[in-house]
Amino acid sequence: MNPKILATLLAAVAAVSLAGCAYPPYGGSNYRAYQAGVEQSVRFGVVEAVRVVNLDAPYTGLGGATGAMLGGIAGSTVGKGSGQLAGAVAGAVIGGIIGSNVEADANKGEGLEITVLLDSGRYIAVVQAGGEGFRVGDRVRVLSGQGTTRVSH
């Protein structure tokens, strides 16, 4: 196969594969499918503070593994004989490093730490992905269930 065509195909597969590494945001409006139809407790309160925080998703290894695989394939097209093996090894190492960095960057994001004074007089703080704007003094709902708590208007 033509090396230019192979390189183009590998780049396309890498882009699609690494896009799967990104975690979805978890804000006040984001739910997983299994959360549909599940009862949640609802409390009401007033926003006392809002702070921007950094969200980092856990490292899955998928980015590094995909990058190493694609880098190894691309590297194997370089040279002949033992040079081909060296190219595959170098491509796998470089691809793994690049894939890991792409995954880490794709999973970074900004979130909000929202401190709420509940009507019961108790304070709670919830960290969630941004998307819904909150200001001090906003009247909000706090929904809790299945180990997840979120704040929404």
* Residue 56: predicted pLDDT: 76
- Hunting for tokens 């690494």 — which residue is that? 18
Cα angle value 108/109/113 (rounded, 5°): 130
pLDDT digits (tens, 9 = 90+) for 81-124: 777 788 888 888 888 888 887 876 776 778 899 999 999 999 99
For residue 128 the two structure tokens come to 């969630």
Half-sphere exposure of 24 (CA within 13 A, CB side): 8
pLDDT digits (tens, 9 = 90+) for 20-58: 444 455 555 566 665 666 778 999 999 999 999 988 766
Q: Which amino acid is at 53?
A: V
Q: Residue 15 and residue 59: Cα distance in Å, rounded? A: 18
Strands (E), 35-147: 41-56, 108-118, 123-129, 139-145
Give the C-alpha distances (Å, rounded to integers) separating 3 from 7, 24, 137.
6, 35, 61
User: Helix (H) and strand (E) counts for the chain?
Assistant: 3, 5
Residue 150 CB-density burial (10 A; 0-12 exposed, 13-18 middle, 19+ buried): buried
Name the DSSP letter for residue 131. S
Classify domain 31-56+109-153 by CATH number: 2.40.50.140
Domain boundaries, given as residue ranges, for the chain: 1-26+59-106, 31-56+109-153
142 contacts 124 by C-beta, under 8 angstroms: yes
* Residue 14: predicted pLDDT: 52
